[in-house]
Structure 1
Amino acid sequence: MDLYLASASPRRRELLAQLGVTFERITAPVDETPLLDEDPHGYVLRLARAKAQAGWLAVLAQERDPRPVLAADTTVVLDGGILGKPDDAGHAHAMLKRLSGSTHVVLTALAVAEQDRVETVLSESRVTFAVLTDAQIAAYVASGEPLDKAGAYGIQGRAGLFVTRLDGSYTGVMGLPLYETAALLARYGLGALA
């Protein structure tokens, strides 16, 4: 095994497998509440770093084989504000209504922790949505797909139909930008770019 992945996301597991590294999932819960006046870039980098460090501490506490811990965090930013995961269907509907017909930013931060070393990278993409009808939003929310995703949508699912333009990394919007992940892992001697 090459590393640990501190993420419960099935999308991140699928994407990481594409890089040809072997990994095991590890639990590393952290409080995802934004700090007062925290900007979105600082927020997403702080969470990725905190998750990787929590994962490393879990490796040590569980006396597992010491390997680097990869963690990621994704957030959607609209008009400078952070759109995290929706609390419920009504909240998801409100988020999608705000995203309708506009361009937003998706930030995915990655961090790798090993001993006292933590390195981070940030992927930034711009996504433009078509104007959505209330019926389209309601049908998407009813599918249940948006309820566990930042910004209340998953580009790899049904919400891909809403996207009229993407500038940046498709896999970054999914939650694990492949190029940036491979480059970060190479710093640790792992993966195809090492």
Structure 2
Amino acid sequence: MFILASASPRRRELLTQIGLTFDVEVADIDETPQLAEAALPYVKRLAEHKAAAVFARHPNKARLVVLGADTTVLCDGQILGKPEDEADAARMLRLLSGRTHQVITGVALMTATACQVAAEVTEVEVIALTDKQIADYVATGEPMGKAGAYGIQGRAARFIPRIEGCYFNVVGLPLARVSAMLETIR
């Protein structure tokens, strides 16, 4: 049995896109960064905790595989999670405007015998945004529920002239890395 420990509809779509069959169970964990915790260890820790929380719910672990994931945006050393409200989304977009930032996704694959944890980093360039562009984008509601207050696969695509690294990582799940991890347990 393969379970995705995530509420993200984008992660569901991505796993379905590559032909995987899975169940979805949301892991309810505290996602607050620890004091002075860097972004890479932060997303790896959250991915592992999500996988472990869902894994622990199942009594029959022999054939259980749980995938946990967490994505964050890092700009100027600041971890940008999901915006709290529209004002927070606009603040994040102003911070990203005209700059390159990193999107970091931690993934954890848990089985009865092991837990593999990895992370993927993608550099993302954002054009210089006007106040009107930011306000109009925030008004769509799309920034809400997304790390860094944007979705590269949606309307924000017009703001991103280039990336370096895995596109799917920016959407929310580095598919090649996850596929390679899954191959090691089959």
Aligned to 1:152: 149
1:92 to 2:89 alignment: yes
The answer on 1:143 being equivalent to 2:145 is no
Measured in 2, the distance between the counterparts of 1:3 and 1:24 equals: 6
User: d(CA) in 2 for partners of 1:116 and 1:51?
Assistant: 17
1:14 Cα deviation from its structure 2 partner: 0.8
- Write out aligned runs for 1:68-107 (5 A): 68-107=65-104
Is the 8 Å Cα contact of residues 59 and 65 (structure 1) preserved in structure 2? Answer: no
Q: Deviations over 1:116-167 (max 9, x none)?
A: 5211121100000000000000011000010100000010000111001100
**Conserved in 2, the CA contact under 8 Å of 1:155 and 1:173?**
yes
SS in 2 for 1:135: helix
TM norm structure 2: 0.96
Percent of aligned positions with the same letter in both sequences? 49
How many pairs were matched up?
186
**Residue 128 of structure 2 aligns to which amino acid in structure 1?**
V
Corresponding residue for residue 40 of structure 2: 41
More displaced 10-residue stretch of structure 1: 113-122 or 137-146: 113-122
Deviation at 1:96, TM superposition (A): 0.1
Query: 1:113-132 counterparts in 2 under 5 A?
Result: 113-132=110-129
In 2, distance between residues paired with 1:139 and 1:66?
Answer: 48
How many Å separate the matches in 2 of 1:119 and 1:42? 14
Which of 101, 105, 108 in structure 2 is aligned with 1:108? 105
Instruction: Give the CA RMSD over aligned residues.
Output: 1.4
| Other-structure match for 1:7 | 6
Structure 1 portions without partners, runs of 5+: 190-194
What is the TM-score of this pair, normalised by structure 1?
Answer: 0.92
The structural deviation recorded for 1:115 is: 2.4
Gaps of 5+ in 2: none
